[in-house]
Amino acid sequence: MQKKFLTNLALLLFLNLLVKPFWILGIDRSVQNTVGAENYGFYFTILNFSFLFNILLDFGITNFNNRNIAQNNQLLNKHFSSILMVKFLLLGIYLLVTFSVGLIIGYDSAQFQMLAWVTFNQFLLSFILYLRSNVSGLLLFKTDSLLSVLDRLLMILFCSVLLWGNITATPFQIEWFVYSQTVAYGITAIVAFFVVTYKASFKKLVWNRPFILMILKKSLPFALLVLLMTQYNRIDTVFIERLLPERIGAEQTGIYAQGYRLLDAFNNIALLFAVLLLPLFSKMIKLKQSVEDLVRLSFSLLFAVSVIIALVSYFYNLELMSWLYPAHSSESASEYSKRISESANILRLVMFGFVAISSVYVFGTLLTANGNLKVLNIIAASGVLISVLLNSTLVPRMEALGSAYASLSAQFVTSLAQVIAVQMIFKFRLNYKFLASLAIFVIGVFVVGSFSKTLSYDWKINAAIMIAFSVLLSFVLRLLHIKKLLEIIKSESTE
């Protein structure tokens, strides 16, 4: 299973690193710079608001289905038709709840218009993720890898034409960004649907009430988990927009989005680990195979990468924000300096959350595969409580920076709790040498980062030197073990 994990991870990372950096740095950044912080903040708030009720679109079916199909491939044909019926039923519930809450909190017509498109996009994205859960559950990781980048490839094409094709008489509008997502998600959903229907020998929709109720009942713990995790991961901007005066709230949301964007981007890459690990862990647990080596391997990879990224962002936060977000034509020098400084402070904080999130993608995924949903839900509920209390207290005083502290606190508490839960349930051997290596690595990267700041080169060269020496240190401490990785990849056993 380690060989399957590494080889397919390599393909998944290759495709995503080929596509997503250009999406993040070329397209998404250009959209933010073109429409401005306030307009992008308007969209970003609506997007995060739609995420709060996203679980109603899925109800935990995707995670349940991924684990179930990985352990019982033969159930795909039986489950697929009825789950499709459930997905369309959940769409109606999601729309009703989302628009009702929007009405209660006082959204205006412009916000509702944006919300209509964003919620439809959320449905398409949820549908794609469900379809992909069948593909990865069958361990067809190469097909899943291609599907994972198809929507971004299409959006790059559409947005590139709209941004730089000179085909419109008016400047790029944030609405065009949303429309491009709709078309890209729609095409990807159609392609994924045909892949799964071929594997499932799908013929027609079947309304099987007892079976549907059984699926919903089994998915309920997964649904609650996703709901709680979404709340403490996505509620920050809603607090900023609602607790601050209208103009300030929109501006601060845009500033928070700028600082948070890199975390969101790297989070999407780290998520690829969970996509591979959930079916692999599920299969190994069913076969009563030890998961300890795979846990250590995947955690070492993610921990090394996340610490390097977090500390690079810590030392070079202002440079990164200035590079990513140039001044708008309507901004004065002092306004630009203030915006970039605030975004940089948020980046410096929230990127440490990437270390915690990376840990969740290993230990939380293992607990999910093992069926420890009650434990995960208790931990996630604690994260929600921390996030709500800290956001309510800090945002009125510190604006967007308060949300950054709230996010970081919730992430670290929940990740640490999951690590403790895994140790209590699986009783892994305590490897003090490995733990010491992790601590030495963090200290070493910090020292390297401090030294790189004293160099007289351009900041990009200094950051590259910091990254190079940090990666070298990870090999010296055997967090990234070349010999072991090569042995696993060359192994003839496919388990």
Tens of pLDDT, residue by residue over 404-431, are: 999 899 999 999 999 999 999 988 888 8
- pLDDT band at residue 492 using 50, 70 and 90 as cut-offs: very low
Tens of pLDDT, residue by residue over 88-133, are: 888 888 899 999 988 988 888 888 999 999 999 999 988 898 888 7
Structure-derived torsion over alpha carbons of residues 350, 353, 355, 356, reported in degrees to the nearest 10: 180
Give residue 369's identity as a one-letter amino acid code. Answer: A
Q: How far apart are CA 233 and CA 411, in angstroms?
A: 8
Give residue 277's identity as a one-letter amino acid code. Answer: L
53 neighbors 94 (Cβ within 8 angstroms): yes
3-state SS track over 12-36: HHHHHHHHHHHHHHHHHHHHHHHHC
Residue 85's pLDDT is 79
Contact partners, residue 290, CB within 8 Å, separation at least 6: 284
Q: How far apart are CA 85 and CA 83, in angstroms?
A: 5
Tens of pLDDT, residue by residue over 185-205, are: 999 999 988 888 877 666 666
Q: Which two tokens stand for residue 356?
A: 């915690």
Contact partners, residue 312, CB within 8 Å, separation at least 6: 449, 463, 466, 467
Q: What is the DSSP letter of 493?
A: -
Q: How far apart are CA 350 and CA 341, in angstroms?
A: 14
CB atoms within 10 A of CB 92: 10
CB atoms within 10 A of CB 172: 17
Which of 171, 203, 172, 164 lies closest to 78, judged by CA?
Answer: 203
